Structures are given as C-alpha cells and as structure tokens.
Structure 1
C-alpha cells in the first residue's frame, strides 16, 4: 500500500473512490516545487515543476495495489507517475506518488493557476458527465 497526492479532480473523494474502486483515508497536504495549471479545453489541471511554487492538494493514504493500474489508466499518456515528498499542515513530510504532466504535452497547458473552488462550482458536473464510466476502470477497462 502506498500514498497518492492529488491536486485536481481526484481531490474529490467521490471521484477518487470511483476511479480507484476503493475508499481510502485522506488528509490535506501540499507539494513544494510544483505549479498546477489548467489544461486547455478541460475542467482538470496538469501539474508541472516550478521553482518556488507550491500546490495544495489531498493525500490519500494506503491505497491498495489494485488502485494503481486504474489510476494509471485514468491519468493516461499525458501524465507520468512520480514519487514526491509531500508536506502535511503540521510540517511533517511523507513520500507519495503523484501524476505530473509530461513536458511533451506542455502546449496543452493554459496560463495561470487552476482553481479547485471554481472546478467544484462550474466544472465538476461537466467533468463527471464527460468521464462517466471511470468507476469501471480495470486492467482491461477503458474510459
């Protein structure tokens, strides 16, 4: 079992549970040295390295092994899974996996910061409708 730092649509427990096929405990966390940017034409963000920046997110604890192939399929080719050191609100740190936007797709990223509150207000329903079926992801499943 390993931890997963999320910073976009997967910060929503209902979406994360559907994608993983399991529920996990979670806590607020942040990741230094990265920036969250909007993906053009999409409701979700991409995260890229950025010196001096910090991304607030959610750390899901002790995901089962069965969740990782499902997460990899959900994230797709634009993201690579990377091990990072995340920070809890009390300053402690923990190693986790996260999904970083691949440099070869950088042209798909918009300017500015992606806004989670805006996603909840205006993008989550569209995202969920667009990705109906992510709760059936498996080793052979597809969106």
Structure 2
C-alpha cells in the first residue's frame, strides 16, 4: 500500500533521515488528496490535514521499498497521528489517475490546527534546519514495528 506525503516528508532530507535511505524516483510521484486542506499544527512547525470540501492538497505518493519503511513512518509520525486509507489522485502525463493511499491524519483533538496554511518552501526556509537537528538528536528511527 502506498503512502501520501503532504508535509515534512515531502522534503528529501527528512525522507533520508526517517527511512534511512533516499527514495528513488520510481518510489515518489506527485499526487493530490481531494477533500482536505493543509494547515500548520498549532505551536508546531509541521502540518495537519483538515477536511474541506472542494479543496485538495498537493503532495507525493510514496511506494515503500523496504519492510522497515512502514514502521519507520509510524514511529516518525508518532501517536498524534493515525493512518487512514483515502482516495488520492496520482498526477501523470496526460491526466490524473485515481488510487488509494495511507494518509497520516491527526488522532483526535490533541493536535489542533492553526489558522495559517502550511507551505513546504516556507517551512524549508524558516524551520527545516532546526527540525533536522531535532530529528538527528533523536537518533535512528526504529526498524521494527511497535
């Protein structure tokens, strides 16, 4: 099952730290998640998704290549997120193909959204360096499921 990345995991350096390798181009494809919008999590530098009819979120469709990918992604996202399988639209030459992917959504009200939209280039410029340092300080992601 594929995953839909919509936040910090759209950054190649974060992917490398979380997965333990840099995914190849065959593993990542542009995609859109309809019916949601991306907001900054309150008091955090990363995003959350909120339901929003008529909206869509651009991101990446990730095809896992290793057995350790799923447990590493779950460990990275932590208990504040749960996965749901949702319809996504994979971008491809000549149109958009429908599909399904695992999406990390906030687990209840413990991760409220701020009013601000979360934008990857702004995060990369403003928050990425500190975020990467905090990831590196945590050490490697676990390779086995919890």
- TM bracket (short chain): 0.7 to 0.9
Give me the whole-angstrom Cα distance separating, in 1, the residues matched to 2:12 and 2:98.
22
TM-score (norm 2): 0.84
Structure 1 residue ranges without an equivalent (≥5): none
Pick the aligned partner of 2:136 from 132, 135, 138: 132
Structure 2 residue ranges without an equivalent (≥5): none
- 1:135, distance to aligned residue in structure 2 (A): 6.0
1:62-141 → structure 2 map (5 Å cutoff): 62-89=64-91, 90-106=95-111, 108-133=112-137, 136-139=140-143
Cα distance change on mapping 1:96 and 1:140 into 2, 3 Å = closer
- 1:48, distance to aligned residue in structure 2 (A): 2.3
TM-score (norm 1): 0.86
Moved more, 128-137 or 21-30: 128-137
- 1:22, distance to aligned residue in structure 2 (A): 3.5
Alpha-carbon contact 1:35-1:55 (below 8 Å) kept: yes
- 1:140, distance to aligned residue in structure 2 (A): 6.7
Pick the aligned partner of 1:46 from 45, 48, 59: 48
Cα distance change on mapping 1:103 and 1:95 into 2, 3 Å = same
Give me the whole-angstrom Cα distance separating, in 1, the residues matched to 2:133 and 2:98.
35
